[in-house]
Amino acid sequence: MPLDDISKLDIKLLVAFVTIMEEGSVSRAAERLGVTQPALSKSLQRLRELFHDALFTRQAYGLSPTARASELNEMIQPILVAMQELMTPNSLNLATLNRRFKLRVDEGDLENFIEPLLASLHYQAPGIKLSIGAWGDTQLDELTSGNVDMGIMRIGDTPGNIRSKLIGYMESCIVLSEAHPLFHQDEVTVAELLSNKIVTHHLRSNRNASFAKTEQKLKQRGYNIEPSLETDSLMVAMQAVKRGMALVTSRSIGDLFLQMTCEKTHFYPVKLLPPPREVVEIDEYNCRHPIHIFWHERFNNDLAHRWLREQILYFMRESPWMHAPS
């Protein structure tokens, strides 16, 4: 691009381009930026003229970037990050900070930090508001789109614009009530476990999950893990265990389960067992799976964002259920 064309390329065009890339739709990008669709279409036309490329082609599922658009996106992202750093204040006043953060974290991981975090916010940053929900099917797409500020999950592979830090390792366990046939055993085999009904709590099966390789190895040995019930609800899991299902979950949820059932009247006695020895032996993490905190590159140098994620990181590493990274 000639030097005299640089003056035609204002920052709003770059923001428009990246937003269309992330949304794959002019209408959704316009809604996110708070502008009209015709106005954003004009910006897209200006971008096409400046870069002498169509940039996006229409497909059945939305807009698909051209090869040139993908190249431009790689070059523009660092420019916008640098601009954001330029506009970011170099000091942080927690006492007057008024901001809402959206977090995605499953219940078992939330148990590791929510109590001390709420106490910390109450005394240090009373103006911070939180919106906390469990991960949906889109998972890291929510971080990329800007709908979520940070998240915690048991996966390691992320897109290039998503940053992550290892928090530590969480072990899993099996929760049984006296109604389960294996209740009086001190340990169980895979075959014994799978011969009875299983309920899983926040245990996702996808190719990025840390347990995916182990699940594949078990299938090769003839063990196909198909839970009778999958749930994100602790109340549903509790009723399933009460009726004789084995709950496979994190140790934090296991201990919370023990506490809740001890206080609940008319509930069978409950115990925790370790995972089957065969699973521990073939699992690359020995059933202590890594947990990461994730955030988008755009928030990396945001002082308030950094303070909040460091608080979460600290409280999780201090949790009695978290094993520190080596």
Residue 130 scores a pLDDT above 60: yes
Q: Identify the pLDDT of residue 266.
A: 66
Give CA–CA dist 13/31, Å, rounded: 16
pTM above 0.75, yes or no: no
Residue type, 62: G
What residue segments make up the domains of the chain, in order of their start?
A: 3-87, 99-163+292-323, 169-288
Structure token pair of residue 260: 């809740």
Confidence of residue 54 (pLDDT cuts 50, 70, 90): very high
**Do residues 173 and 326 touch, judged by C-beta distance below 8 A?**
no
Q: Which residues pair with 231 in a beta bridge?
A: 201
Among 194, 192, 154, CA closest to 172: 154
> Helical H runs in 170-268?
190-194, 212-220, 234-242, 251-263
Q: Identify the pLDDT of residue 122.
A: 94
131-189 tens-digit pLDDT: 998 887 767 788 887 789 999 987 766 777 888 899 999 888 999 999 999 999 999 99
Q: Identify the pLDDT of residue 5.
A: 58
Residue 208 scores a pLDDT above 80: no
**Mean pLDDT, to the nearest integer, of 34-39?**
90
Residues in the chain: 326
32: CB partners within 8 A, 6+ apart: 19, 23, 145, 146
Task: Tell me how far CA of residue 79 lies from CA of 10, 76, 86, 147, in angstroms.
Answer: 12, 5, 11, 21
Q: Which CATH superfamily is domain 99-163+292-323 in?
A: Periplasmic binding protein-like II (3.40.190.10)
Structure token pair of residue 105: 């974290």
Query: Which of 66-75, 106-115, 116-125, 262-271 is most confident?
Result: 116-125
Common-topology check for domains 3-87 and 99-163+292-323: no
| Architecture category of domain 169-288 in CATH | 3-Layer(aba) Sandwich (3.40)
| Architecture category of domain 3-87 in CATH | Orthogonal Bundle (1.10)
**Mean pLDDT, to the nearest integer, of 24-35?**
89
